[in-house]
């Protein structure tokens, strides 16, 4: 659509508080012409760098490249945030139309021989630079190489085609999953269908029905609704319906079937890797990680897997005992496990989610996260109603440091919606940098909690909020010069450390006593309940570890295949692999390939779902520094955590950054202890 710059708010100065996108005036038809204009502006900036007469040096080449494309980055960030968090058929159509051109633009930039030649000259002379400049040059040079800059001309042409097609397919994969999630619902009719559901689940189901314009109660595939339903519903037949719909996302014949889409993605990724001279996509992907090789990543999975299998069998025995005591016979099916685990949790640990949730009202959990950030890092969060947001669910905050200086803007979007993808994630509308005019970070957290009056969270939900807030802090606390090195743009198996280590604080008794208060009475959570939660925290870790590790094993295996043609039936490949690995019946896995958005909605975690476990080795070992210091808010340890983990972005090699924080490299024992796996082998 032809739209002049004068009528397109995206191409005008963003005259909003802190320069946020003017969300209230944006329409889907604004994005295609705006992104086209911004891509042209970026090409013009790069042309000036490539054709200048001056000899390549850091300032006129590397630093200039890092500054280029700011307008494109801002518009693209606004667009992709909307397509994830508040999409529409019109936005989805624009997303499909732009997937190829955006990928083509990226390829053209990184295959420009003139630009790469200048970057290569600076790279060859990098030892004369300071540490942060050298890191930027090394990362930019590697970006060019991994995007095909060194390939022969014919291979470059094919590589660009592969990347464009991958962009189209990953967009389609994500939209197919969203379709299956948003179109399925289970209506509950009468008290018989509601049997066993606590008030908070009923309230969320009523809210889900009201949002869809129907009376009564609905179960949707939002994780924060379907998991409690599987946990509490006494109706085994309805649990089975919900479970089958949940695990069947992406596997429904017709327009939104992801089985062939995933195969096409795997086929193209294999070709991408072979163009780079790698035998498999896993080899290509892992080359730029802390692990470095399949052997290292698989080695960690192999360390945990047998211990997790032993732990889950101990848990199964407890569940069977509970079933028999209740007069139930037969085997535990996947739709039964959470239900019977909840019965055991109640019986053995006197912990009931229905008792716990009233102490975890969403607003109080948000304030607990803010308070921990204040006590650890000196940050203060002030609500700002004048900052433009894209949906009424979103809350905007101005973030200041101890001296009162604004350090960033934080947006939090906590509720599930039909037009929002599932899961939880952090994203950025703008990265922190000071290469040129200093720019404040604008950081977003998305969660998918089912709405209620009020919204009550499980302890797992609260951990999720703290996890994403840890990512958010990684973006907000960034203190680097260059955009490319800012915030969470680190090696992928390091990126989960700042998020996972922050989860620890929501389990600290000191934090719970301060913030966990009953939503009706305001009474603090009883010490006896905190003690029970502490005793119960390792119960179910076998189940969770097996499900996670099974998904990581499948991911690594499918991306390690060297054949150009992927398996004809990915679902059969997955089932046969897990059977060979000894996945116990009734347990299942976190994500099946046909809806595994970590892998197929983008390349971010492809051959890298192991990242969470790798980072958990770091976070468990790292949090022990606070334990050793005797306080979860020890100022000296918090200062090291800020300086060496949260603030440095990608300006320091991650292994060196961790060693600077901890004083040594990590060990795996704290992870095994945390998950209760030391006795399991």
Question: Which contacts of 517-523 are long-range, i.e. CB under 8 A and separated by 24 or more positions?
Answer: 517/359, 517/361, 517/364, 518/358, 518/359, 519/358, 519/359, 519/361, 519/364, 519/454, 519/456, 520/358
- Residue 204 is part of which domain span? 184-247
Looking at residue 5, what is its pLDDT? 59
Q: Are residues 214 and 363 in the same domain?
A: no
Q: Is 1 exposed, middle or buried (0-12, 13-18, 19+ CB in 10 A)?
A: exposed
Q: Is 36 exposed, middle or buried (0-12, 13-18, 19+ CB in 10 A)?
A: middle
Domains held by the chain: number: 4
Q: Is 445 part of any domain? A: yes
pLDDT tens-digit readout, 227-264: 999 999 999 999 999 999 999 999 999 999 999 999 99
Q: Does residue 446 contact residue 113 with C-beta atoms inside 8 Å?
A: no
Tell me, what CATH number does 494's domain have? 1.10.1370.40
Residue that finishes a domain, picked among 514, 536, 558 = 536
pLDDT tens-digit readout, 80-126: 999 999 999 999 999 999 999 999 999 999 999 999 999 999 999 99
Q: Strand 442-449 to strand 394-400: parallel, antiparallel, or no bridges (unpaired)?
A: unpaired
Looking at residue 351, what is its pLDDT? 86
Looking at residue 453, what is its pLDDT? 84
Q: Are residues 315 and 406 in the same domain?
A: no
Q: Are residues 529 and 543 in the same domain?
A: no
pLDDT tens-digit readout, 425-457: 999 999 999 999 999 999 999 999 999 889 999
Q: Is 558 part of any domain? A: yes
Looking at residue 197, what is its pLDDT? 97
Percent of residues, the chain, with pLDDT higher than 70? 99
Q: Are residues 471 and 324 in the same domain?
A: no
Q: Are residues 596 and 659 in the same domain?
A: yes
Q: Is 311 part of any domain? A: yes
Q: Is 252 part of any domain? A: no
Q: Is 171 part of any domain? A: no
pLDDT tens-digit readout, 358-401: 999 999 999 999 999 999 999 999 999 999 999 999 999 999 99
Q: Are residues 67 and 26 in the same domain?
A: yes
Percent of residues, the chain, with pLDDT higher than 90? 96
Q: Does residue 356 contact residue 534 with C-beta atoms inside 8 Å?
A: no
Q: Is 233 part of any domain? A: yes
Known catalytic residue at 313: no
Residue that finishes a domain, picked among 150, 167, 194 = 150
**What separation in angstroms does the CA of 67 have from each of 221, 244, 483?**
42, 49, 8
Q: Are residues 563 and 664 in the same domain?
A: yes
pLDDT tens-digit readout, 46-60: 999 999 999 999 999
Average the pLDDT over 618-635 and give the result. 98
Average the pLDDT over 327-333 and give the result. 92
Q: Are residues 667 and 589 in the same domain?
A: yes
pLDDT tens-digit readout, 345-362: 999 998 888 899 999 999
Residue that finishes a domain, picked among 508, 536, 564 = 536
To which residue do tokens 């980072």 refer?
615
User: From CA 125, how far away is CA 403, in angstroms rounded?
Assistant: 39
To which residue do tokens 């992927």 refer?
566
Tell me, what CATH number does 54's domain have? 1.20.1050.40
Q: Is 175 part of any domain? A: no
Q: Does residue 283 contact residue 594 with C-beta atoms inside 8 Å?
A: no
Tell me what the pLDDT averaged over the chain comes to. 96
Q: Is 504 exposed, middle or buried (0-12, 13-18, 19+ CB in 10 A)?
A: buried
Looking at residue 681, what is its pLDDT? 47
Tokens of 408: 């960033």
Q: Is 526 exposed, middle or buried (0-12, 13-18, 19+ CB in 10 A)?
A: middle
Annotated catalytic residue within 468, 496, 503, 616: 468
Q: Are residues 527 and 425 in the same domain?
A: yes
Nearest to 614 by CA among 285, 289, 280, 139: 289
pLDDT class of 153 with cuts at 50, 70, 90: very high
Tell me, what CATH number does 598's domain have? 1.10.1370.10
Looking at residue 452, what is its pLDDT? 85
Q: Is 254 part of any domain? A: no
Neighbours of 404 (CB within 10 A): 7
pLDDT class of 290 with cuts at 50, 70, 90: very high
User: From CA 195, how far away is CA 62, in angstroms rounded?
Assistant: 63
Q: Are residues 420 and 457 in the same domain?
A: yes
Looking at residue 1, what is its pLDDT? 42
pLDDT class of 21 with cuts at 50, 70, 90: very high
Q: Are residues 622 and 573 in the same domain?
A: yes
Torsion angle in degrees (nearest 10) through CA of 94, 98, 99, 103: -160
Looking at residue 2, what is its pLDDT? 46
Q: Are residues 445 and 462 in the same domain?
A: yes
């Amino acid at each position: 659509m032809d739209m002049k710059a004068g009528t397109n708010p995206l191409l005008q100065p963003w005259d909003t508080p802190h320069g946020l996108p003017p969300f209230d005036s944006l329409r889907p038809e604004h994005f295609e012409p705006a992104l086209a204009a911004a891509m042209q502006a970026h090409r013009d900036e790069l042309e000036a760098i490539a054709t200048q007469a001056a000899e390549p040096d850091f300032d006129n080449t590397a630093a200039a490249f890092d500054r280029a494309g700011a307008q494109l980055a801002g518009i693209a960030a606004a667009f992709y945030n909307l397509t994830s968090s508040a999409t529409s058929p019109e936005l989805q159509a624009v997303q499909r139309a732009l997937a190829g051109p955006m990928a083509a633009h990226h390829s053209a930039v990184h295959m420009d021989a003139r630009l790469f030649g200048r970057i290569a000259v600076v790279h060859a002379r990098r030892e004369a630079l300071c540490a942060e400049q050298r890191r930027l040059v090394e990362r930019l040079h590697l970006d060019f190489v991994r995007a095909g800059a060194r390939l022969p001309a014919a291979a470059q042409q094919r590589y660009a085609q592969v990347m464009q097609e991958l962009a189209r397919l990953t967009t389609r994969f994500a939209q197919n999953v969203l379709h299956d999630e948003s179109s399925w619902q289970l209506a509950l009719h009468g008290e018989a269908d509601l049997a066993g559901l606590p008030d908070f689940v009923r309230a969320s189901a009523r809210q889900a029905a009201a949002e869809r314009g129907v009376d009564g109660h609905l179960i949707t595939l939002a994780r924060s609704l379907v998991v409690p339903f599987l946990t509490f519903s006494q109706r085994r037949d309805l649990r089975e319906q919900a479970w089958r719909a949940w695990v069947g996302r992406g596997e429904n014949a017709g327009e939104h079937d992801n089985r062939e889409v995933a195969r096409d993605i795997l086929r193209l990724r294999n070709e991408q890797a072979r163009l780079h001279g790698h035998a498999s996509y896993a080899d290509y992907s892992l080359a730029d990680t802390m692990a470095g090789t399949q052997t290292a990543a698989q080695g960690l999975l192999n360390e945990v897997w047998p211990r997790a299998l032993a732990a889950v069998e101990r848990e199964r025995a407890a569940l069977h005992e509970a079933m028999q005591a209740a007069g139930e016979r037969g085997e535990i099916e996947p739709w039964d496990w959470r239900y019977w685990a909840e019965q055991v949790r109640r019986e053995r640990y006197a912990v009931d989610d229905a008792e716990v949730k009233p102490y975890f009202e969403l607003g109080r959990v948000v304030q607990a996260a803010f308070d921990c950030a204040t006590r650890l890092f000196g940050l203060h969060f002030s609500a700002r109603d004048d900052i433009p947001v894209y949906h009424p669910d979103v809350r905007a905050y101005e973030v200041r440091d101890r001296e009162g200086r604004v350090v960033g803007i934080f947006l939090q979007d906590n509720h599930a919606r039909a037009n929002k993808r599932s899961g939880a994630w952090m994203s950025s509308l703008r990265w922190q940098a000071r290469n040129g005019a200093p720019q404040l970070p604008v950081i977003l957290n998305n969660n998918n909690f089912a709405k209620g009056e009020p919204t009550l969270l499980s302890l797992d939900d609260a951990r999720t909020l703290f996890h994403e807030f840890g990512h958010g802090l990684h973006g907000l606390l960034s203190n680097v010069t260059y955009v490319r090195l800012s915030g969470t743009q680190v090696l992928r198996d390091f990126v989960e450390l700042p998020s996972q280590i922050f989860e620890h604080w929501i389990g600290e008794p000191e934090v719970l006593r301060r913030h966990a208060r009953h939503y009706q009475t305001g009474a603090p959570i009883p010490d006896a309940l905190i003690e029970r939660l502490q005793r119960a925290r390792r119960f179910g870790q076998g189940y969770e570890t097996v499900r996670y590790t099974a998904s990581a094993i499948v991911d690594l295996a499918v991306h390690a295949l060297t054949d150009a043609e992927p398996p004809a039936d990915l679902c059969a490949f997955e089932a046969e692999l897990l059977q060979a690995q000894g996945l116990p019946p009734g347990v299942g896995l976190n994500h099946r390939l046909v809806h595994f958005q970590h892998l197929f909605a983008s390349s971010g975690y492809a051959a890298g779902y192991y990242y969470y476990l790798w980072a958990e080795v770091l976070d468990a070992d790292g949090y022990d520094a606070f334990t050793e210091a005797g306080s979860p808010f020890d100022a000296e340890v918090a200062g090291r955590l800020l300086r060496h983990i949260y603030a440095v972005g990608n300006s320091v090699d991650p292994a060196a950054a961790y060693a600077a924080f901890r004083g040594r490299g990590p060990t795996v024992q704290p992870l095994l202890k945390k998950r209760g796996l030391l006795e399991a082998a």
